[in-house]
Amino acid sequence: MAKDNGLRIESTKGTFKFCAVVGEGVENDNNPGNYEYLATLEVDLDSPIINEIDKYIDETEINGKEPSKVPYQTTEDYEKIPEGKAWLYSKTSTKWEDRDGNINDRNINIYNTRGKKIQLPEGTGIGSGTEGKILGNMKQWTRGKAAKLEYGYTIWLTGVQITNNFVPYEFDNAPAAEEDGGFEGFDIPGSTEVDEEEETPTRRSRRSRRG
């Protein structure tokens, strides 16, 4: 069987409901003392990215069993999600360990509309309502064996792209007013463009995909 390298994710354009991709991240409730970068994006339920995710899940299902977790939810799972929309979830640890056992900080790439990496102004994050995309890699995970086998899918976040309507979030927990005119699909006021060469939820009821 060929090795499964996962599904490369470049989401459909949507609206960020939550985006913590700079600073110390968010503490993992199940693993105190460990922090993650998280991004939740609202997209249309019938958008290409949801269809791609569903197709990948169908192609990698195990023994005909339903996965216990997939990386999006709908109004069936959470009533605050509007009809016809899906909330796409992604995450990654704020640290990574190299082959020598050294612990390093992880950087999430932030891109403008032109696909250029940018750095947000000091002390500023990406607020709810900002329009953009999630970039990452979706992988399958398994737990247990044989009859008790459980599996699911996670999108491991590598970057985000801001496409319009940038809403800054100040780290004093008070969201700043939106800049006049919004993001307008170009550079964020006060941001710095960097060289291109630089590197940087719970069980849900799956919608019917088989017709």
CATH, residue 185: 2.40.50.140
| Helix and strand counts by DSSP (H, E) for the chain | 1, 15
Is residue 202 one of the residues assigned to a domain? no
Euclidean distance between CA atoms 81 and 153, whole angstroms: 20
- The pLDDT score that the predictor gives to residue 171 is 66
Task: State the burial class of residue 105 (Cβ atoms within 10 Å of its Cβ: 0-12, 13-18, 19+).
Answer: exposed
Question: 14: domain range?
Answer: 7-193
Euclidean distance between CA atoms 78 and 41, whole angstroms: 14
Euclidean distance between CA atoms 208 and 211, whole angstroms: 6
Is residue 209 one of the residues assigned to a domain? no
What is the count of structural domains for the chain?
1
- If phi > 0 it is left, if psi is from -120 to 50 it is alpha, else beta; for residue 6 that is left
Query: Which two tokens mark 179?
Result: 């800049």
Is residue 93 one of the residues assigned to a domain? yes
Is residue 199 one of the residues assigned to a domain? no
Do the beta carbons of residue 85 and residue 74 sit within 8 Å?
Answer: yes
pLDDT string in tens for the chain (211-residue length) = 345 789 999 999 999 999 999 988 888 888 888 899 999 999 999 999 999 999 999 999 988 889 999 999 999 999 999 999 999 999 999 998 888 888 888 999 999 998 899 988 888 899 999 999 999 999 999 988 877 889 999 999 999 999 999 999 876 544 444 444 444 444 545 555 554 444 334 434 455 433 3
- The pLDDT score that the predictor gives to residue 3 is 53
Is residue 186 one of the residues assigned to a domain? yes
pTM: 0.80
Tell me the C-alpha to C-alpha distance, in Å, between residue 62 and each of 148, 183, 189, 207: 12, 43, 48, 18
Do the beta carbons of residue 142 and residue 150 sit within 8 Å?
Answer: yes
Task: State the burial class of residue 180 (Cβ atoms within 10 Å of its Cβ: 0-12, 13-18, 19+).
Answer: exposed
